[in-house]
Homo-oligomer: A and B are copies of this chain.
């Protein structure tokens, strides 16, 4: 029975692979360099636009990361997961152009390996990148500096083979370490000095590069990019920020490039000064336009991202209670009219409209657009 089942699965995978291969844009290649089986069937998802990577489909399935789910499991703030992973992909695009490379979820650092790296150094775990437990249960304890490690692979086709041509490693550092003094006990916060965090991260990055170089399947001189990320606090309404990047073809990191990214949540709390204060004021004007549209007040917040102290984009979220579908439609029309006047131009802005339970409408404007396009989520 077991054998029959296996054959059945293999046959259906082959069928899926064949169907996928029959699709115009789904590229078909027939073997893969790094797999156990040289005859594995590999396709890509195809590119949707020249700014997006094609991804790897193997035996009819998306090739998921060898350490799949580890970042999600180690983060209680979803904003950190999204900004760490999507931000890493954006950084990769600077090193490996989507037109020239195929994106592959990390295949060289296994779950076990990454877990041992993220653990503390102990007698049994010499590879632990976090410091030894000094036995302290207060601010004198050695904190967990490194929260997550993420690998992204960049492939090129050699004839019918996919070959590894580049790699990016994201390292998420803790500005605050959350810990329990006893299992299931209360959570305590240990602040980590910023300079100490940066220094610790650089040392860990150097070790990681050396270790990756020693892995069998890594081509010599293959470029490895490293991106350092500072986690946002667990209660933050926006994710953390990448603060340094580098790339090396050797086994040493010789210099780091600083990234000046800052994420803000509007309306700002307290007195707003500095480079974000004007955008915050504009947001508050938009807020006062919108929040009294219905008798029930609408809640508005925005995530704003600054690169080199210049606004790079805004995600606006509006939550309100709707009493009919026509209210949702009218509200969306209203937003499409007022948003161009009260939201920043020249950068991408999107607006998500939620009821208590669900998304109801979505509006967006690209950096070069004048008007918002809008969509009301409907059903028959």
Give the B-binding residues of A (Cβ under 8 A): 13, 16, 19-20, 23-26, 45-48, 52-55, 57, 60-62, 64-65, 68-69, 71-72, 79, 81-83, 85-86, 89, 103, 105, 150, 152, 238-239, 263, 288-289, 292-295, 303-305, 313, 315, 323-327, 329-334, 336-338, 341, 352, 359, 362, 364, 374-375, 377-380
* Chain A contact surface mostly: mixed
Report the minimum CB–CB distance from A109 to chain B (whole Å): 14
Q: Which of B26, B152, B305, B332 contacts A380 (CB 8 A)?
A: B305
Docked-complex contact A303 and B379, CB < 8 angstroms: yes
What is the CA–CA distance of A261 and B289 in the complex, to the nearest angstrom? 39
* A105: chain B residues within 8 A (beta carbon): 324, 326-327, 330
* A331: chain B residues within 8 A (beta carbon): 62
Q: Which of B48, B150, B330, B379 contacts A103 (CB 8 A)?
A: B330
* A19: chain B residues within 8 A (beta carbon): 288-289
**Which 5 pairs across A and B sit closest by C-beta, in order of nearness?**
A55-B330, A85-B325, A69-B323, A45-B334, A46-B337
Knowing A26-B338, A61-B294 touch, does A48 contact B332 (C-beta < 8 A)?
yes
In the complex, which of the residues A305, A333, A341, A362 has the most CB atoms of chain B within 10 Å of its own CB atom? A333
Knowing A295-B64, A380-B239 touch, does A55 contact B325 (C-beta < 8 A)?
no
What is the CA–CA distance of A81 and B380 in the complex, to the nearest angstrom? 10
What is the CA–CA distance of A305 and B380 in the complex, to the nearest angstrom? 7
Knowing A23-B341, A263-B380, A326-B89 touch, does A61 contact B292 (C-beta < 8 A)?
yes
Q: Which of B61, B324, B364 contacts A85 (CB 8 A)?
A: B324
Docked-complex contact A327 and B64, CB < 8 angstroms: yes
Docked-complex contact A289 and B333, CB < 8 angstroms: no
Docked-complex contact A289 and B20, CB < 8 angstroms: yes
In the complex, which of the residues A152, A295, A338 has the most CB atoms of chain B within 10 Å of its own CB atom? A338
What is the CA–CA distance of A81 and B352 in the complex, to the nearest angstrom? 21
Docked-complex contact B330 and A86, CB < 8 angstroms: no
Given A82-B325, A303-B380, 20 other A-B contacts at CB below 8 A? A25-B337, A48-B337, A55-B334, A60-B292, A61-B292, A62-B330, A65-B323, A65-B324, A68-B323, A68-B324, A69-B324, A72-B324, A81-B324, A86-B326, A86-B378, A152-B326, A303-B379, A304-B380, A315-B379, A364-B375
Report the minimum CB–CB distance from A81 to chain B (whole Å): 7
* A65: chain B residues within 8 A (beta carbon): 323-324
* A295: chain B residues within 8 A (beta carbon): 61, 64
Knowing A48-B337, A375-B364, A379-B239 touch, does A89 contact B293 (C-beta < 8 A)?
no
Report the minimum CB–CB distance from A342 to chain B (whole Å): 9
Report the minimum CB–CB distance from A103 to chain B (whole Å): 7
Q: Nearest residue in B to A88 (C-beta to C-beta)?
A: B326
Q: Nearest residue in B to A85 (C-beta to C-beta)?
A: B325
Q: Nearest residue in B to A306 (C-beta to C-beta)?
A: B380
Docked-complex contact B46 and A333, CB < 8 angstroms: yes
